[in-house]
Structure 1
Amino acid sequence: MRFNKKVAIVTGAGQGIGFEMARQLAMEGAAVILNDLDESLANTAAADINANNGICRAMPGDSSDTAFIQQMVDTAVSDFGSLDIVIANAGITLFGDFFTYTPAAFNRVMQVNLGGTFFLAQAAANQMKGQEKGGAILFTSSVTGHQAHKDLAAYGMSKAALEMLAKNLVIELSPYRITVNAVAPGATLTERTMDDPTYEKTWSDLTPMGRPATTNDIAQAALFLVSDHARHITGQSLVVDGGWTSISPSPY
């Protein structure tokens, strides 16, 4: 029970990697605010966790909206007494050819992936700073922030920026014993990626370890970084990709 009596917020957690992070936090004792833009997904995910003896409150809403971000932080404190862990997992992927990529698509990717993460970290850090007991903030980056991937210029740019944000915030947050790190998943089997019947075979062939990641693989790395076992790790980005970024073959 690494997270007994801890309080956490996880955004973009209605399914996939975010849900598994939230689920494992709750199973190890944390009270979790679970966010997703999709109200049905958020409510179903929270109900699943609660049905398995976890403590979880669904908060559906736009994680890039600053008023809603503050509402999540305030709710964590009012419902559970404090805020100890924040995982800014919400993000969107809008594929598109660089030569025709639209300002609307670019701005939405930056608003969600960068703006939502930046202002959630800000709101969380202000709360943690006042509590005077430290805390842990984690960003979900991507291997596309490390290696080029066709039609993902804006997305990859946003993920690389998150890792620089984690590094930069070390200056601001370390005096308050708040760690800030990033986890960078590679190809991962989720509800979304499994809609492609070729996904698992393709990425099994391209990944040195012979398979894409599971959501558990990513969640285990994430939970380590927000646990007390990682209290002296900050400003770092942990790639979880089965070795893909070492050789970086692209899918056909």
Structure 2
Amino acid sequence: MTTDKFTGQVAIVTGAGQGIGFEIAKQLSLGGADVLLNDLSYDLAVQASSAINALGGNCHPLVGDASDIDFIQQMVDEAVHRFGKVTIAIANAGITLFGDFLNYPQQSLQSVMNLNLQGSFFLAQRVARQIITQKSGGSILFMSSVTGHQAHQDLAAYGMTKAALEMLAKSLVVELSQHQITVNTVAPGATLTERTMEDAGYQNTWSRITPMGRAATVEDVANAVLFLVSPQARHITGQNLIVDGGWTAVSTSPY
């Protein structure tokens, strides 16, 4: 999608070196936004930004840990320094660590909570502070998951964090609406990315059990995200949009 609906906007997208995050950053940039693209991997961040710029976008990479509070502030400062402001934040960075509940280790739980929750919480906080200072209004979006709605084997910790992000979005309606800041979530279901396609049976399995007959593409998810941070959604806040081809309506297990 190439439009000019994001002209004049400045976005931070975390975990955007590949997959859903990359597609979001690409579509925002091709829609006219200046984009600060974050990833933990130097190679992925640089390659992703270069690819977007080659298509005519304006994207700058910033490598670092999106769960680290000091680095989160650095992202905001860098966006303001380079582009003059921040108006959109997409907390896309996240980690999935499978494990059965009875044997789930503390280190895994802490890692999942640090990135999925702490990183998202403080990105929203620091971006909101900047938007309030600017008096510009803006949009914050958290990346949730269908596992925040339906129990999924070996994902108790991950699903817990995703459900929490949806409650955080609702809570921030009370805190941020007076500043014209919308806060929403998107909950993808099975999605074809570089990571999920490492599983040889992933696409066939999820195509079979998804009512629409296929897993989502990264474009499917990015289109939902872009709508919620676009001018067309300025009166939508505290909401969650599930993008799963109908899977949560039937919740057929892949196992």
TM-based fold match above 0.5: yes
Residues 71-97 of structure 1: CA distance to partner in whole angstroms, max 9, x if unpaired?
000111110011010000000000001
Residues 57-79 of structure 1: CA distance to partner in whole angstroms, max 9, x if unpaired?
00010000011000000111110
1:59 to 2:62 alignment:
yes
1:86 and 1:124 mapped to 2: Cα distance? 7
Question: Which residue of structure 1 aligns with residue 150 of structure 2?
Answer: 147
Structure 1 letter corresponding to 2:14 = T
Question: Which residue of structure 2 aligns with residue 114 of structure 1?
Answer: 117
Length-normalised TM-score, structure 2: 0.98
Alignment of 1:1-252 (within 5 A): 1-252=4-255
Residues 140-168 of structure 1: CA distance to partner in whole angstroms, max 9, x if unpaired?
00000000000000000000000000000
Which 5+ residue runs of structure 2 have no aligned equivalent? none
Question: What RMSD over aligned residues (CA atoms) do the two structures have, in Å?
Answer: 0.5
2:238 and 2:9 mapped to 1: Cα distance? 22
Identity of aligned residues (%): 65
Secondary structure at 2:178's aligned position in 1?
Answer: helix
Tell me the matched-pair count: 252
Residues 173-229 of structure 1: CA distance to partner in whole angstroms, max 9, x if unpaired?
000000000000000000001111111100000100000000000000000000010
Secondary structure at 2:63's aligned position in 1?
Answer: coil
Shift of 1:5: 1.4
Secondary structure at 1:179's aligned position in 2?
Answer: strand
1:234 and 1:173 mapped to 2: Cα distance? 10
1:141 and 1:86 mapped to 2: Cα distance? 14
Shift of 1:51: 1.0
2:102 and 2:33 mapped to 1: Cα distance? 46
1:112 and 1:2 mapped to 2: Cα distance? 30
Moved runs in structure 1, 4+ residues, more than 6 A?
none
Structure 1 letter corresponding to 2:171 = N
